[in-house]
Structure 1
C-alpha cells in the first residue's frame, strides 16, 4: 500500500480515533469526520471504566502494545463494594486493578481528549461539525450505537466523597442490570444501568439515588442529569458495503456489564490494520474478539435468569470462594467449549434491539446503510 493513500473515518470516538492513529502512523492521509462540535460530546464528563479482567494482560499495557496512548487521567480500582437488594454489603478486592476509572468527554485529562491529541500529533485531520453521508473510497465507520439494548441514566456531580466505586444488584433499581456510583478526584457519576423498563427510568434513578444516600451517604453538588444508550450484538459481518465497521456501530461491546472501551479501541486498530495490509477484517476481529463477546452473551443470559435472590446467592458465593474479583471475572469471561455449547441459551435470553437491513446497492458508499446481518435476530 502506497503511503499516499487517503482514508476517511466516520466518527471520532475511541474506535474511530484509534483507527486514525494507526493509519496516520503508517504514513497514510486520514480524515476523521465527527458530526458533533467536540470530542466525546455525548458523555460530558461521565466516569466510566476500562475493564481489566478479560485477559491476563493489563488493559493499559494492551493499549500501549496497540500503539494507543494511555496519557489520560485514570484511577486503578482494586477495592470497592457491591450491595444486594437487602442492603447487604460485599467487599470487592483484587490484587491487580479490576478496572481503570476514566473520564469521558472533551475535558482535560479525559480519555477522548488524549486520543484526539495523539491522532492530531500523528497527522490525522479531525474535523468537527462535519457530518458525512457518503465515503467514496473504502473507509471505516465508527459512529456509535444505533439502538438501545441498555441505558444508563443518572447524574454527574461534584463531591467531597473519597475515590471509589460502589454497585447495587437489585432489579428494583436497575432491571436486569446494576446501579453504580463512581468517584474520582472530586467528581462523581451515579446511574442506573438497566436492560429493560426504560419507560420508568425516572423511577429507577430516584430509587438509585435514595439507595446510595442510605448506604454510602451519597454527596452530590452541582448535579447534572445525563443518560446514554448501549448497543450489544455479535455481527455476522463487520463490513457495510465497501466500508469496515468498528466500535459500537458494529456491536463490539461487553453484553454483561457494558464495559466496551477496550473492545472499541481494539476493533478500530484491527480495522485500520486490515486497510493497511489487505487482510480480511472479519477474520481478524473474530480471532481477537468473538470468543470474549460470545462468553459475555452467555454470562448475560445467566444474569437475566437470576433475579434479586440469585444476585444475592452469587455475591455470597463469590465473596466466600473468590477472594480476588479479577481472577473470578477472568474465569467467567474466558472462552471455552462450555460457553460455545451454551450459546443457544444466550440467543434465547438476549436479543439485540438492532435490526439491520440489507442494502441492494452494489458497492454502496453510504455511511448510514445497515448491511450487516446479526446473529441474534428473531
Structure 2
C-alpha cells in the first residue's frame, strides 16, 4: 500500500509547540526546537520528570550504528551532562552457565541512571530543556492540544517486563548478564555495578505472572556466579512494548519514543531510538519535512531487523545462544552486534514469521484506524493474545 506523505507545517515563533510527555523523546524534541528559537511547552502528567524510574542503571546502546551515540546527541545540540560510563566489557553467561567475556574496542553502551535524582538522564535533559527556554508543566495531564503537538507518553501496551532491586554494595564495578530461560523467559537477567551502587533485574518477554520466581532465581544465580552483595535493597519494576511501528503521525500529532513503538525488540534497548525519534520530530517541524519519511529511513530498518532477531533468539535455545557468545567472545564484539541490526535478506525473510511468533501487533483499546498494522494495533481486527499489563510483585529480599 502506498502511504501518503504528511508534511508538517512549519510553526511560527509565536505559536508554541506542545509536547505531551517529558521522557527522553519528548525532552530531546523540546531541546532541539527551543534552541532553534521555537517556543515549546512540555506537559508531564507526573509530579516529577523521570518518576517512572527509581535511579536504576540502564544501557544507552552504542553498537547499532557507526556513530557513537553521544556524538549523535551532540550533533543535535544535546550534551551528555548526565552521569555516564562507557562500557566495553561485559561478562555473559549462557543457558548452561558457561562464562563468556565480551569485549569491544569502542563502547558497546553507556551506563546511565534513570529517574528524578541528580545526574540522571531524565534530570539532565530537563535542565537542558529549561536552560534552552522550554516551559515544563508538571502534574499536567493533557489529552488534547490545539495546534502542533508531539506525543511522547511512553508505552501503550506491555510485552516487556523488568523487575529487580537497586542496592548499595562493596562489589567492584562490573557488568554481568545471563541469557537463560530459567532466569528470564525469552529475555535476560543482568547485574550492573558502578561506584558502590548496583542494579540487578530480570527482563522478561513472557510469563510475567511468575516474575517473583524468576527474580529469586536471578538473585541466587548472580550471588553464586558474580559474588552479588546487596545492601539496603529496594525493589523496582517497569514495563515496555515492542513491535513493528506503522506511522509516526496521527490526526496532526507526531508520535515519538515507545508511544510510537520505537523500541529494540531483541533486548529492549530503546533509549537511543527514543532520543533519535524526538530529534527527528523536531527536524520535521523546523524544516516542514515529512516525519514519517525521516523515521522510516532512520529507525524502521533496524527495528524490523530486531524483530527478526527476537525470533532467532527465541528459537536458538541454549545451544544456539552458546555458539553465538563463543563467536562474540573472540575479538571485537561490536562489529558482530552491529551486523545483527543491519538490514539483511535473512531479516526480511524472517520478519513476517517473527511478527506472528511474537503475537504482534496487539489490540489497543484506543483503536481509531481500520487500516493500521503498528504496535499500537489501532485496529479492531486484531485480538490480544494473552498479553496483559503485568503486576509487579517484587519485595525486598530477606537477609
TM-score bracket, normalised by the shorter chain, equals over 0.9
Match of 1:189 in 2: 199
Does the CA-based 8 Å contact 2:61-2:108 persist in structure 1? Answer: yes
Alpha-carbon distance in structure 1 between the residues aligned to 2:74 and 2:229: 36
Match of residue 113, structure 2, among 84, 89, 103: 103
Match of 1:365 in 2: none
TM-superposed CA distance for 1:347, in Å, is 1.7
Match of 2:26 in 1: 16
Alpha-carbon distance in structure 2 between the residues aligned to 1:375 and 1:150: 23
Structure 1: gaps spanning 5 or more residues: 361-369
* More displaced 10-residue stretch of structure 1: 121-130 or 79-88: 79-88
TM-superposed CA distance for 1:272, in Å, is 1.5
TM-superposed CA distance for 1:22, in Å, is 1.2
Does the CA-based 8 Å contact 2:16-2:148 persist in structure 1? Answer: no
Does the CA-based 8 Å contact 1:11-1:142 persist in structure 2? Answer: yes
Alpha-carbon distance in structure 2 between the residues aligned to 1:176 and 1:288: 27
Alpha-carbon distance in structure 1 between the residues aligned to 2:343 and 2:198: 34
Structure 2: gaps spanning 5 or more residues: 1-9, 370-375, 385-399
Alpha-carbon distance in structure 2 between the residues aligned to 1:126 and 1:195: 34
Match of 1:131 in 2: 141
Match of 2:127 in 1: 117
Q: CA-to-partner distance for each residue in 1:174-193, whole Å, 9 max, x for gaps?
A: 00000000112111110000
Match of 1:338 in 2: 346
Alpha-carbon distance in structure 2 between the residues aligned to 1:259 and 1:147: 17
Give the 5 Å matches for 1:218-229: 218-229=228-239
TM-superposed CA distance for 1:312, in Å, is 2.0
Match of 1:329 in 2: 337
Alpha-carbon distance in structure 1 between the residues aligned to 2:263 and 2:182: 25
* More displaced 10-residue stretch of structure 1: 62-71 or 165-174: 62-71
**Is the counterpart of residue 232 in structure 1 residue 242 in structure 2?**
yes
- SS of equivalent residue, structure 2 residue 146: coil
Match of residue 270, structure 1, among 280, 285, 294: 280
Match of 1:29 in 2: 39
Instruction: Give the TM-score taking structure 2 as reference length.
Output: 0.88
TM-superposed CA distance for 1:139, in Å, is 0.3
Alpha-carbon distance in structure 1 between the residues aligned to 2:122 and 2:380: 29
Give the 5 Å matches for 1:296-335: 296-319=306-329, 322-335=330-343
Does the CA-based 8 Å contact 1:153-1:226 persist in structure 2? Answer: yes
Match of residue 368, structure 2, among 356, 359, 364: 359
CA-based RMSD of the aligned residues comes to 1.9
Distance 1:229 1:75, change over 3 A: same
